[in-house]
């Protein structure tokens, strides 16, 4: 049985690992990059606290001891369901079972100016691009004479008060406090403003009321200007236009205001439901297909416990990978009973800064805040990171950063300039 898994995020990787060395099953794992990205810590890569390699794990290393998992570094271009094959950027691959674990992509709500001018943060490369932008801005600020232009360089706007937006603005506020004034003694950092804009009435809206309140308080304590009930209409690279007509001048806007499912070509539009997700049954089987499954953020599954779908979290993706692996092994053995997916919610958490975090645990219903929550957050993330060596390096970096109050990886590589990427894309278009 040939199982093709598209995407090596939390769900796809878990599934491939569970199917590794299972008799009678051949696995092809496809991803655009040759490493698994530990997304929860991307914001620390962006703020120079961690190295990209610390939270990226080469896929080939994961499967060095596997006899049946092959890796392909390619992009899924199209599914030809009638012929049971996929077309990738490099070849065509036939499948007996296809598993889509492609996750989500940043939702710019079809606003091309936002795509061009703002910075998303969904991948390691995007985190490095943001790091490049942040550091280059201050280098540029040293040369600018016009006060209005200087202010634009010193303002950072983060759109979206979910975990990404909260964690990133907290980390930026700590950079402003502990690192930047030492690095740029010529600049006046009392003029640096960090705005967090959230459309709903509260930060961390998907967490408990207490977590929302705590995170809001922590952010303001760190000096972040939090605006709830605030929607962005547009951004042209210089000014953020809010829905109420007001304007925030800023050269850096980070867009963490929403995601949408990364649906590949070749599937019927009727399968796509809210959040651009694909509708699946309780065994993650794509509606109307017997040999295509969808797991993780891209899957939309309604269950009695979750009548409006599951939250888009790593833990859901991982658990779906585990359940699907069991079902595929059963399928290969021609068994007829399959497990329904049943999400076990262990809790959610977010960190704002040093000793400042929030943790919600559902059963028993508990809320932690402050140092203890921060400690839980760190320990759990350390445990979840793939590989003893990465764990060691992340831990070492954290210990170092904690005691020195220093994010020390402030390297600017022009290769990660987003502006350059755009001109590149232009050339590629021209050439093709």
Interacting residue ranges for its own copies, rule: CB under 8 A: 33-35, 51-53, 56, 58, 60-61, 64, 70, 72-73, 90-91, 124-125, 128, 135, 139, 142-143, 182-184, 186, 387, 389, 392-393, 396, 400, 406, 408-416, 420-421, 423-424, 426-428, 431
Check: CB of residue 232 under 8 Å from CB of residue 243: yes
Cβ distance to its own copies smaller for residue 119 or 416 = 416
Cβ distance to its own copies smaller for residue 75 or 281 = 75
Cβ distance to its own copies smaller for residue 131 or 216 = 131
For 152, the token pair is 């634009």
Q: Which residues contact 271 (CB under 8 A, 6 or more apart)?
A: 278, 279, 286, 287, 288
Cβ distance to its own copies smaller for residue 383 or 388 = 388
Distances, alpha carbon 380 to alpha carbons 40, 209, 391, in Å: 11, 22, 11
Identify any residues that bridge with 69 across adjacent strands, giving them in sequence order.
27
Taking the CA atoms of 176, 199, 102 and 300 in sequence, report the sign of the dihedral they define. positive
SS3 359: strand
Q: What is the rounded distance in angstroms from the CA atom of residue 20 to the CA atom of residue 36?
A: 16
SS3 274: helix
φ and ψ of 177, to 5 deg: -80, -45
- Tell me the residue ranges of DSSP E strands in 22-141: 26-31, 35-37, 56-58, 69-73, 76-80, 85-88, 92-94, 97-100, 104-106
SS3 for 362-405 is CCCCEEEEHHHHHHHHHHHHHHHCCCHHHHHHHHHHHHHHHHHC
Cβ distance to its own copies smaller for residue 336 or 431 = 431
Check: CB of residue 207 under 8 Å from CB of residue 214: no
Identify any residues that bridge with 155 across adjacent strands, giving them in sequence order.
193
Cβ distance to its own copies smaller for residue 342 or 424 = 424
In Å, how far from its chain's centre is CA 377?
A: 17
Cβ distance to its own copies smaller for residue 7 or 163 = 7
For residue 204, give the nearest of 50, 11, 372, 357 by alpha carbon.
Answer: 357
Cβ distance to its own copies smaller for residue 22 or 132 = 132
Cβ distance to its own copies smaller for residue 53 or 193 = 53
């Amino acid at each position: 049985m040939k199982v093709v898994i598209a995407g090596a995020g939390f769900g796809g990787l878990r599934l491939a690992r569970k199917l590794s060395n299972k008799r009678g099953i051949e696995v092809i794992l496809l991803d655009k990059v040759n490493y698994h990205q530990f997304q929860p810590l991307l914001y620390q890569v962006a703020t120079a606290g961690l190295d990209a390699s610390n939270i990226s794990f080469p896929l080939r290393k994961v499967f060095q001891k596997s006899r049946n998992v092959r890796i392909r570094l390619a992009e899924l271009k199209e599914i030809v369901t009638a012929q049971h094959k996929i077309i990738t950027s490099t070849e065509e691959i036939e499948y007996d079972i296809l598993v889509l674990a492609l996750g989500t992509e940043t939702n710019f709500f079809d606003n091309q100016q936002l795509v061009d001018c703002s910075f998303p943060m969904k991948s390691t490369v995007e985190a490095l691009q943001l790091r490049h932008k942040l550091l280059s801005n201050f280098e540029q600020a040293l040369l600018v004479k016009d006060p209005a232009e200087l202010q634009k360089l010193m303002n950072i706007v983060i759109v979206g008060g979910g975990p990404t937006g909260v964690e990133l603005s907290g980390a930026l506020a700590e950079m402003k406090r502990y690192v930047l004034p030492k690095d740029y003694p010529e600049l006046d950092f009392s003029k640096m403003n960090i705005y967090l804009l959230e459309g709903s009435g509260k930060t961390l809206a998907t967490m408990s009321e207490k977590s929302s309140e705590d995170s809001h308080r922590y952010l303001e304590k760190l000096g972040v200007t939090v605006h709830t009930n605030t929607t962005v209409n547009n951004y042209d690279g210089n000014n953020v236009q809010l829905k109420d007509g007001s304007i925030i001048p800023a050269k850096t806007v980070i867009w963490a205001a929403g995601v949408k499912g990364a649906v590949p070509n070749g599937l019927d539009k009727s399968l796509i439901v809210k959040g651009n997700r694909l509708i699946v049954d309780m065994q993650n089987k794509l509606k109307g297909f017997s040999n295509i499954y969808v797991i993780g953020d891209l899957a939309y599954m309604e269950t009695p416990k979750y009548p409006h779908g599951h939250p888009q979290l790593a833990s859901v993706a991982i658990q779906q990978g585990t359940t699907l692996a069991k079902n595929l092994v059963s399928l290969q053995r021609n068994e007829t009973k399959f497990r329904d997916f049943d999400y076990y919610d262990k809790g959610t958490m977010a960190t704002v800064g040093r000793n400042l975090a929030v943790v919600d645990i559902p059963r028993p219903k508990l809320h932690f805040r402050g140092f203890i929550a921060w400690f839980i957050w760190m320990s759990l993330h350390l445990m979840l990171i793939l590989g003893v060596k990465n764990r060691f390096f992340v831990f070492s970096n954290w210990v170092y950063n904690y005691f020195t109050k220093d994010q020390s990886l402030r390297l600017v590589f022009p290769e990660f300039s987003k502006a350059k990427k755009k001109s590149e894309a232009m050339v590629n278009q021209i050439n093709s």
